Structure 1
Amino acid sequence: MWDERFAGDDYFYGTDANAFLRSQAALLPPSGTALSLAEGEGRNAVWLAQQGLTVTAVDASAVGLAKAGRLAAARGVSITPVVADLATWTFPAAAFDVVVAIFIQFAPPALRDRLFAGMIAALRPGGLLLLQGYRTEQLRYGTGGPKSAELLYTTDLLRRSFAPLAIERLEAHDDEIVEGQGHNGMSALVDLVARKPA
């Protein structure tokens, strides 16, 4: 499905990094390593590389990651693409200063629990987690994201799932987003900023 979605010349979710991610630029370390999950066509990974980070971009779609590589080259940076199914991929332990998860809402609850645990494990002590997703209220808007409530987030779910981290911001809000043809219009969002204890 993802190879087909990313097969065109255009970028399905656009080429600009997610607005929430960009808004957290001041929290990023000036150098270090970042992991961007379910990266797709590269918009967020490329932006992270432009901030001076060494970026690993993981996605199941080789087609998407090939486009990510082209976007990186066009913007004068490089990323490390990893074609992998996150259902079976082994998260490196304590390997990243930053972990980014933007709209990675393809996973049913059991797999989601595994992914969230992997994200926590992959952070170095003091490392930063940046996550944005759709809340269950997104079903009313229909402007992007999955059509199943079990794939969507609530603040309570994120608070429980990331309890091992120090949560610095957990905010539910409705805002209009414009991200290519994939995410477009008023949306029910939730933002999470958290750190792994040093």
Structure 2
Amino acid sequence: MKKLLLASSLAALMALPAQAADYVIDTEGAHAFIQFKISHLGYSWLYGRFNDFSGDFSYDSNNLAASKINVTIDTKSIDSNHTERDQHLRSADFLNVEKFPQSSFVSTKVVPTSGDNFELHGKFTLNGVTKDIVIAAEKIGEGQDPWGGYRAGFAGTAAFALKDFGINYDLGPASATVYLELSVEGIRK
């Protein structure tokens, strides 16, 4: 009788749908990045990143559409590898970090496209303005790490116009759009 109950219990557990797992973004180990590029007057690319951010996500490989992510960015941590430029980027001309010290992204839906690719729709807040954006994303991989944890990693890209977020400093038409590149590795909680 015990064997029948154990077998029934195991069969019932195996029949349950997979549940989404919750992850914290690994910023302590520097396994996540928020980088950007913008054209410098149409002559070259200016690259930078945000050094301080945090977030978490929920991911279910069997039901990608049920996944979600929340990220908060410390806008003061902008780093374009040039101190004077970073001070200007922190000013009211651009990020206005004294008034808006944080930026955020909160997903609203995930739309699977093909294979490990998907569209991540969400609300992006920057410079006190919130707009819908879509991140073209892909799953890079998931599995056990050498320290006994479980990780999942993703990459994504997005673009937006500065003026859409109330940033009207005129750098010319070639510099109107910012391109984001995101790399997110999470550790399962």
Structure 1-normalised TM-score? Answer: 0.25
Higher relative contact order (CA 8 A, sep 6+): 2
Q: Which has the larger radius of gyration?
A: 2
Q: When you count strand as a share of all residues, which structure comes out higher?
A: 2
